[in-house]
A and B are shown apart, each in its own frame.
Chain A
């Protein structure tokens, strides 16, 4: 009985071990391949070193003056006798470590500078009279990211935009940032105002955004919300465990008298704008973010004598966003209420804007394709003095994005609706190729 029991137990464990062994080639094989690759890398590096040493030795050997054949033979024999015998070459761990250390230090030199660009070429056609169809160069944007020290960094964004006659060059962002730690990073400069998710996430990176055009609430040259902000910010994370909370707090010049522009050269009044932005980005839900912002400013319009409500208005913007940045599906929704109160008459005006966008990257062989849809909404009262001539928007956009590579895409859009640029309903077709380099 006992031998049978032993044999049974032995069989159980042996089978278990063999079971694992049988799986082992499949599990271990990729790692072994990696180990072999690493070994090949080491050997290739070693060969390169030896070749370099060999060529250096050949170069340093001075040419011998002409001599008789016997002298030549004797000197050759002496030289051969004096030459050290070749020693067997082995890959030295210390040498590898030394090379790695050099590489590490090379990557930590300050200041260092990295440049990246975004560009796009567009085609547009619209059924409305008065709008010509044709090609258009989009924005050519260059980013400069530079680490000045382990805790100080600089970022700049320059755009070139084709206009009638000339290219408009603009310093979109210039930010110098001092990191205290993850909780507080202080910066100064010109920002994309964090009062809107799209404004900070995509802005001048047409390739980054799924669609061709921005949402109408943040469209190029928009007066609806302040696109840029000049001043100082503190940003960072808030200890919140799995919630992944973060914030931005800022104070700055706010809008200029042209509401589409920021007060780059100085504030138009003696009241600073301030903003607060709070968001949750749980690490366990990588694609998810929810947040809200508030923005307070005083805006001062030109030509006050023509306006019954005066020149100065208090502005209070409240906004919220809910996004899922994944691609199966992708979802963005934002809403903002822009409240203005005349300091002269006390009249108030509320303007609303928002959008919902959904997209889905197709599976399997069609994964380069991503169809999308967006609905834009903008509502400004007709008597709103700060946004005169503003065209309300109700628009649907259907589109398809095709990623020709990891860094370039073709997009096609059909838009139907009213507003931006014309109040009447129209149909539009847009094509774009956008890329980063």
Chain B
């Protein structure tokens, strides 16, 4: 009888512990913004610094044969707000002015492509070989490659884009 009670206790404890951890992870992941690329892109891990260079248009090629195509959500969206804050360090107005100035200096011929939903971003990333986009981690499709940022995937406690 005592052994049976102990077994039940252990089972309850395990369920509560596991449930608590899972709950925390799921909550964290649902708030994270994933950076996704086309599976053809030769990248699976970026530093935050590299991600900033890419999204600011300072790095424009994955390699000599594959230009980077930036896809950015239209405002207002939570994902865009997070990326503007964490990667661009800009307000909405500064973001617009930044790309006008970049084209003015002949450093780019156009700004990022605008996507109107996470599903649109996912669809475009699948068909454009050099595409990179960001979206809510919970909306990531199986056909996309999620890029680690500073060695962390969405859901990790140290993941920076949230």
B67 CB contact (under 8 Å) in A24, A150, A241: A150
**Central interface residue in B96, B101, B113, by most chain A CB within 10 Å:** B101
> Is the pair B13, A9 in contact by a Cβ cutoff of 8 Å?
yes
> Is the pair A244, B53 in contact by a Cβ cutoff of 8 Å?
yes
Among A274-328, those with CB < 8 Å from B are: 281, 283-284, 286, 327
* Residues of A close to B30: CB separation below 8 A: 28, 31
With A and B bound together, what is the CA distance between A31 and B136 in angstroms? 8
> Is the pair B78, A34 in contact by a Cβ cutoff of 8 Å?
yes
* Residues of B close to A155: CB separation below 8 A: 106, 109
* Residues of B close to A200: CB separation below 8 A: 105
Residues of B in contact with A, size category: 35 or more
Stretch at the interface among A172-180, A213-221, A265-273, A414-422: A172-180
* Residues of A close to B117: CB separation below 8 A: 37-38, 41-42
Closest 5 CB pairs of A and B: A100-B123, A38-B117, A283-B52, A155-B106, A181-B64
> Is the pair A16, B49 in contact by a Cβ cutoff of 8 Å?
no
- Knowing A104-B128, A284-B49, A406-B93, say if A179 contacts B104 (CB, 8 Å): no
* Residues of B close to A20: CB separation below 8 A: 23-24, 27
* Residues of A close to B90: CB separation below 8 A: 286
B63 CB contact (under 8 Å) in A9, A31, A181, A284: A181
* Residues of B close to A406: CB separation below 8 A: 93, 96-97
Among A335-381, those with CB < 8 Å from B are: none
Q: Is A6 an interface residue (CB 8 A)?
A: yes
A-B contact pairs, 7 of them (CB 8 A): A6-B9, A31-B30, A100-B120, A101-B127, A179-B67, A200-B105, A407-B96
* Residues of B close to A101: CB separation below 8 A: 123-124, 127
- Knowing A10-B16, A34-B78, A104-B128, say if A41 contacts B136 (CB, 8 Å): no
Stretch at the interface among A52-60, A141-149, A423-431: A141-149
* Residues of B close to A48: CB separation below 8 A: none
With A and B bound together, what is the CA distance between A37 and B115 in angstroms? 13
Q: Is A436 an interface residue (CB 8 A)?
A: yes
Q: Is A103 an interface residue (CB 8 A)?
A: yes
With A and B bound together, what is the CA distance between A237 and B58 in angstroms? 8
Among A139-175, those with CB < 8 Å from B are: 143, 145-147, 150-151, 153, 155, 173, 175
Residue of A nearest to B20 (CB): A13
Q: Is B157 an interface residue (CB 8 A)?
A: no
Q: Shortest CB–CB separation between residue B159 and chain A, in angstroms? A: 15
With A and B bound together, what is the CA distance between A327 and B94 in angstroms? 10
Q: Is A329 an interface residue (CB 8 A)?
A: no
Q: List 9 other contacts, CB 8 Å, given A17-B20, A17-B23.
A: A6-B9, A20-B27, A100-B124, A104-B128, A108-B128, A182-B61, A201-B101, A286-B56, A436-B100
Residue of A nearest to B90 (CB): A286
With A and B bound together, what is the CA distance between A104 and B125 in angstroms? 9
Q: Is B110 an interface residue (CB 8 A)?
A: yes
* Residues of B close to A150: CB separation below 8 A: 67
* Residues of A close to B49: CB separation below 8 A: 241-242, 283-284
Residue of A nearest to B94 (CB): A327
Q: Is B17 an interface residue (CB 8 A)?
A: yes
